[in-house]
Structure 1
């Protein structure tokens, strides 16, 4: 794959044979983010888990102290007084049954996170085929199936992110924007890593964190020493 000149120049600043410490990696990821927009800084964590086993699945959520730098649109499935509670808490969209055809037939997906009260999961379950593959299905482990919709919305708007294994047993999550200060990025990154380390499955044998990489949207990957977190 041919890379542009900006990427090639940025890649020269990264020593691919080196495992960086957090301070160096964060400073470097900001330095190599040279696109004409505010790049997202992402963390990619390759684990030793085997997600095909239910007891080695990892899924959870954590609130990043400095937020994500992104405006998050929240859709809430609720009824009765929970509709007013969701609207008052700042939900972008609130509804119930009537939203099913809009999402299913019209392909409406102008939201980033879906929250549902437990009594609405029968309705939301019918959207499994649409929301599931996009990672939008509400889940109790992520705190998105709850009666406390106000808290769920507040946390999401404040910078709550969900982490989980993909099919290759890798976790991909944003930890902020290139415009964030080094302190903000470091705080977000360390908060995420603490949560992921705590989520280690008790049944896992061998090395849990195989590799940890920081990268900006258009920049090269910067590897950290995974043993420093385990």
Structure 2
């Protein structure tokens, strides 16, 4: 069974749909009841959605305990949910910093910790987190977002080392600029500026990100761990 956070829209929705199409039962999370309705609608009988507040660590632990009490076993964890709260450092307040770190980084610790014992017991597991190119190159006005996505790299490398002998792989998919609701809010000047930094001269698609996640969650990627797979049209080449 797979669990996908932030599965009501964008990249998370595309990933959950692809997993479901492969016959994998999916649990999708959203922060709202309406989001859960969307998840239940497209998953139909091959999974379900539930409300999860990733800022509330107690809530994460309680919800995950409920899942395991119902005898659901999470073999694939997709940490997709994330937020932005952009501001220059001189204007950034503590709430803008803490909310982004809590959801984009701290929640990954709690989500991964909640599934890892079961994966070790089963001697199988896939943990895949959606990072960002910004974690590697930085960006003005995003010290909080960049720090959270950069922190994921060290977390995943260390966890990969801890569980590599247990049949568990731990990887990151780091998108560049992807065609989602967020990019649709760009005006024409912003759009052209971003496009000028992408050698392929186009935005990526949610399908391209989901395809990479599907590969990393499959047996074909069983010898890949501790890696960050960059999907950005050439705007960053490590």
**Comparing both chains, which one has the higher relative contact order based on Cα–Cα distances under 8 Å and sequence gaps of 6 or more?**
1
Which is richer in strand?
1
Q: TM-score, normalised by structure 1?
A: 0.29
Q: Which has the larger radius of gyration?
A: 1
Which is richer in helix?
2
Q: TM-score, normalised by structure 2?
A: 0.29
